[in-house]
Amino acid sequence: MSRRVLSGLIALAFVPLTQADEFQGMSPVTPALTESRTPIPVLTDADRAAVYNAPGGHVVHDSGIHSLLLINQLEWQGGEGDGALNWDIKGWVGGDIDRLWLRSEGERSAGRTESAEVQALWGHAISPWWDLVGGVRQDFIPGDGQTWAAFGAQGMALYNFEAEATVFVGEAGRTAARLEGDYDILLTNRLILQPTAELNFYGRNDPQRGVGSGLSDSELGLRLRYEVRREFAPYVGVTWNRSYGQTAQYARDEGEDTRQLRWVVGVRLWF
């Protein structure tokens, strides 16, 4: 037998022994654990209560009662003839949706009250910026007192323009309407220029009160105020008052002007 054949036989004889040596030191694969070595008890209601606390109550403000009193204009008006003390006051009490509104405006001149009225209105919010209002208006002067039913809307239009539109139905079929608006122009954080406008309309002539049908009178104003505090702001300004139609004729019959330019000085307060 040749040497090459002998070498091949020896190699074949040792192969099984070599493979057995390779796997001799390997241990069998341990199966994966399917259970905890330390058993976990089942959660009970007591365990859940120990780690979970129900959230406590918290304060909400949607049903709170709040109030505001705004003395929008308390001013002295001067010009030709006697000066006059004017006021325009508004206030409310209630919540975010429903409020009781109070309005009052009037004028005193030469030691006597020329005009005075009070309105009590219930307001209901129909949007974040607008309320519908309804209630009563009581005129004390001029003439005999008169009571009106009042209906309207008030709120804030585009660009922070505040507006009021109110219709009045009075005794003996009398009707009236009033439009008001104002706008705050911030020159600085405390210096504010405020243009204002008011228009009054009546359904028919009323000689006793000196008002005619249609557009009766208007007032345009421009006031510059300085807010020493947000709640206290003195101001100066001018107003332009004009009567129209039969109202102007009644004024001429009494020797009064139908157009008046007045300077004003006053204070604005709110609480």
pLDDT at site 20: 46
How many C-beta atoms lie closer than 10 Å to residue 152's C-beta? Answer: 20
Residue 89 lies in a domain: yes
Cis omega before residue 142 (within 30°)?
yes
- Tokens 């210096």 locate to 191
CA 27 to chain centre: 80
pLDDT at site 203: 96
Are the beta carbons of 194 and 185 closer than 8 angstroms? yes
Residue 55 lies in a domain: no
pLDDT at site 71: 98
Identity of the amino acid at 47: D
- Tokens 């058993």 locate to 39
Helices (H), 163-243: none
Tens-digit pLDDT profile for residues 225-268: 999 999 999 999 999 999 999 999 999 999 889 999 999 999 99
Query: Nearest-CA neighbor of 164 among 108, 193, 121, 216?
Result: 121
CA dihedral angle for residue 56, residue 62, residue 66, residue 72, rounded to 10 degrees: 140
Residue 58 lies in a domain: no
pLDDT at site 43: 78
Identity of the amino acid at 3: R
pLDDT at site 23: 46
Number of domains in the chain: 1
pLDDT at site 28: 58
Domain extent, residue 178, equals: 66-270
pLDDT at site 111: 86
- 146-161 mean pLDDT: 94
Strands 175-182, 112-125: pairing kind: unpaired
Residue 144 pLDDT > 50, yes or no? yes
Mean pLDDT, the chain, rounded, equals: 87
Residue 14 lies in a domain: no
pLDDT at site 17: 47
Residue 18 pLDDT > 80, yes or no? no
Residue 109 pLDDT > 70, yes or no? yes
Residue 26 lies in a domain: no
The residues with which 225 forms a beta bridge, in sequence order, are 192, 235
- 40-59 mean pLDDT: 72
37's CB contacts (< 8 A; 6+ apart) are none
Tens-digit pLDDT profile for residues 53-97: 666 666 665 578 999 999 999 999 998 778 899 999 999 999 999
Residue 91 lies in a domain: yes
Residue 199 pLDDT > 60, yes or no? yes
Model confidence at 119, pLDDT cuts 50, 70, 90, reads very high
- Using DSSP's 3-state secondary structure scheme, residue 223 falls into strand
Are the beta carbons of 194 and 223 closer than 8 angstroms? yes
Residue 7 lies in a domain: no
Are the beta carbons of 193 and 187 closer than 8 angstroms? yes
* CATH number, domain with residue 256: 2.40.160.40
Residue 216 lies in a domain: yes
% of the chain exceeding 90 in pLDDT: 65
Model confidence at 25, pLDDT cuts 50, 70, 90, reads low
The residues with which 164 forms a beta bridge, in sequence order, are 154, 180
Q: What are phi and psi of 177, to 5 degrees?
A: -150, 150
Are the beta carbons of 107 and 113 closer than 8 angstroms? yes
Q: Alpha-carbon distance 155 to 130, whole Å?
A: 4
Q: Alpha-carbon distance 100 to 181, whole Å?
A: 21
Maximum Cα interatomic distance, the chain, rounded to a whole number of Å: 158
